Amino acid sequence: MEYFLQQLINGLTLGAIYGLIAIGYTMVYGIIGMINFAHGEVYMIGAFISIITFIVLGLIGVTFIPLALMVVLLSAMVFTAAYGWTVERVAYGPLRGSFRLAPLISAIGMSLFLQNYVQLVQGARVKPMQPVVTGGFEFFQGGGFTVRLSYIQIIIVVLTVALMVGFTFLIQRTALGRAQRACEQDMGMAALVGVDVNRTISLTFVMGAMLAAVAGMMVTLYYGVIDFFIGFLAGVKAFTAAVLGGIGSLPGAMLGGLLIGLIEAFWSAYFSVEYKDVAVFVILVLTLIFKPTGLLGKPDIEKV
Amino acid sequence: MDLRALFKDAGLAAFVAFMLALPMVGFQTVDVSGGVGLTVVTRFGDVAISVALVFVGRLALSLLHHPSWRLPILLVSAALALGLLVVKTPYPVITWLTVLASAVIAVRAAWLVFDLSGVIDRDEGNRLGDAAAFIGRWFGPVFVLFAVIFPFLPTTSRYLLDLGILVLTYVMLGWGLNVVVGLAGLLDLGYVAFYAVGAYSYAIIARDFGLSFWACLPLAGLFAAFFGVILGFPVLRLRGDYLAIVTLGFGEIIRIVLLNWGSFSGGPNGISGVPRPSFLGMPFHPNPPEGTTSFHQFFNIDFSAEHRIVFLYYLILILALITNSFTLRIRKLPIGRAWEALREDEIACRALGINPTNTKLTAFAIGAMFAGFAGAFFATRQGFISPESFSFIESAVILAIVVLGGMGSQIGVVLAAVLLIGIPEFFRELAQFRMLAFGAAMVGIMIWRPRGLLAHREPSVRLPDAAGARR
User: Residues A95-145: pLDDT tens digits?
Assistant: 887 777 788 889 989 999 999 999 988 888 888 888 887 777 877 666 667
- Residue B124: the pLDDT is 47
Q: Give the type of residue at B19.
A: M
What distance in Å separates the CA atoms of residue A197 and residue A190, rounded to the nearest whole number?
7
- Residues of chain A neighbouring B234 (CB-CB closer than 8 A): 285, 289
Q: Is residue A99 part of a domain?
A: yes
CA B117 to chain centre: 27
Closest-CA residue of B relative to A238 is B245
Q: What is the DSSP secondary structure assignment for residue B150, as one 8-state letter?
A: G
What distance in Å separates the CA atoms of residue A268 and residue A104, rounded to the nearest whole number?
32
Q: By three-state DSSP, how is residue A140 classified?
A: strand
- Residues of chain B neighbouring A281 (CB-CB closer than 8 A): 249-250, 252-253
- Residues of chain B neighbouring A48 (CB-CB closer than 8 A): 23-24, 29
CA distance, residue A57 to nearest chain B CA (Å): 11
- Residue B129: the pLDDT is 65
Q: Is B439 within 8 Å of A114 when comparing Cβ atoms?
A: yes
Q: Is residue A264 part of a domain?
A: no
Answer yes or no: are the C-beta atoms of B384 and B271 closer than 8 Å: yes
Domain that holds residue A138: 19-232
- Residue B468: the pLDDT is 47
Q: Is residue A250 part of a domain?
A: no
- Residue A51: the pLDDT is 92
Q: What is the ipTM of this complex?
A: 0.86
For residue B228, which of B338, B361, B43 has the smallest C-alpha distance?
B361
Q: Is A236 within 8 Å of B248 when comparing Cβ atoms?
A: yes
- Residue B112: the pLDDT is 79
- Residues of chain B neighbouring A34 (CB-CB closer than 8 A): 241
Q: Does A243 touch chain B (CB under 8 A)?
A: yes
Answer yes or no: are the C-beta atoms of B98 and B80 closer than 8 Å: yes
Contacts of residue B319, Cβ cutoff 8 Å, sequence gap at least 6: B172, B373, B374, B377
Q: Is residue A94 part of a domain?
A: yes
Kindly state the average pLDDT of the residues A253-282.
Answer: 89
Q: By three-state DSSP, how is residue B190 classified?
A: coil
What distance in Å separates the CA atoms of residue A165 and residue A156, rounded to the nearest whole number?
14
Q: Is residue A10 part of a domain?
A: no
Q: By three-state DSSP, how is residue B119 classified?
A: coil
Cα four-point dihedral sign A152, A155, A156, A157: positive
Q: Which of residues 36-55 of A touch B (CB under 8 A)?
A: 45, 48-49, 51-53, 55
Q: Does A278 touch chain B (CB under 8 A)?
A: yes
Q: Is residue A1 part of a domain?
A: no
- Residues of chain B neighbouring A294 (CB-CB closer than 8 A): none
What distance in Å separates the CA atoms of residue B398 and residue B187, rounded to the nearest whole number?
12
Beta bridge partners of residue B384, listed in sequence order: B272
CA distance, residue B429 to nearest chain A CA (Å): 13
More confident residue, B239 or A201: A201
What distance in Å separates the CA atoms of residue B405 and residue B449, rounded to the nearest whole number?
11
Q: Is residue A114 part of a domain?
A: yes
- Residues of chain B neighbouring A239 (CB-CB closer than 8 A): 245
pLDDT tens per residue across span A143-187: 667 788 888 899 999 999 999 999 889 988 999 999 988 988 888
Nearest-5° Cα angle at B143, B137 to B148 = 135
Tens-digit pLDDT string for chain B (471 aa): 678 888 898 999 999 999 998 888 888 888 877 667 778 888 888 889 889 989 988 888 888 888 788 888 888 888 888 888 777 777 777 777 788 888 888 888 887 777 766 555 545 445 666 666 677 677 778 888 888 888 888 777 888 888 999 999 999 999 999 999 888 888 888 899 999 999 999 999 988 888 888 888 999 999 999 999 988 887 777 776 788 888 888 888 888 889 888 888 888 888 887 888 777 667 776 666 666 667 776 776 777 777 888 888 999 999 999 999 999 899 889 999 999 888 888 888 889 999 888 899 999 999 999 999 999 999 999 888 999 889 888 898 898 888 888 777 788 888 888 888 877 777 766 777 888 888 888 888 888 877 766 665 555 555 665 444 444
CA distance, residue B352 to nearest chain A CA (Å): 14
Annotate B71-82 with three-state secondary structure. Answer: HHHHHHHHHHHH
Q: Is residue A285 part of a domain?
A: no
What are the backbone dihedrals phi and psi of residue B156, each rounded to the nearest 5 degrees, phi first?
A: -80, 120
B408: left (phi over 0), alpha (psi -120 to 50) or beta: left
Contacts of residue A149, Cβ cutoff 8 Å, sequence gap at least 6: A9, A136, A137, A138, A139
Preferred mutation among B446, B447, B448, B453 to probe A, highest tally of A CBs within 10 A: B446
Q: What is the DSSP secondary structure assignment for residue B87, as one 8-state letter?
A: S
pLDDT tens per residue across span A224-263: 888 888 998 899 899 999 989 988 888 899 999 999 999 9
- The kind and range of the H/E element at A231 are helix A230-245
Q: Is B439 within 8 Å of A113 when comparing Cβ atoms?
A: yes
What distance in Å separates the CA atoms of residue B38 and residue B25, rounded to the nearest whole number?
16
Angstrom CA distances, A8 to A43, A262, B330, stand at 24, 7, 54
What are the backbone dihedrals phi and psi of residue B29, each rounded to the nearest 5 degrees, phi first?
A: -80, 130
Indicate the number of domains in chain A.
1
- Residue B241: the pLDDT is 75
Mean of pLDDT over chain A: 88
What distance in Å separates the CA atoms of residue B400 and residue B423, rounded to the nearest whole number?
15
Q: What is the DSSP secondary structure assignment for residue A246, as one 8-state letter?
A: -
Q: Does A176 touch chain B (CB under 8 A)?
A: no
What distance in Å separates the CA atoms of residue B327 and residue B179, rounded to the nearest whole number?
7
CA distance, residue A31 to nearest chain B CA (Å): 15
Answer yes or no: are the C-beta atoms of A245 and A53 closer than 8 Å: no
Closest partner residue to A104 (CB to CB) among B234, B244, B444 is B244
For residue B448, which of A38, A102, A53, A251 has the smallest C-alpha distance?
A102
What distance in Å separates the CA atoms of residue A27 and residue B117, rounded to the nearest whole number?
37
Confidence of residue A294 (pLDDT cuts 50, 70, 90): confident
Taking residue B151's Cβ as centre, other Cβ atoms within 10 Å add up to 17
Q: Give the type of residue at A202.
A: S
Contacts of residue B195, Cβ cutoff 8 Å, sequence gap at least 6: B173, B224, B371, B372, B374, B375, B378, B390, B394
Nearest-5° Cα angle at A25, A21 to A26 = 110
Q: What is the DSSP secondary structure assignment for residue B433, as one 8-state letter?
A: G
Q: What is the DSSP secondary structure assignment for residue B470, as one 8-state letter?
A: -
Beta bridge partners of residue B38, listed in sequence order: B31
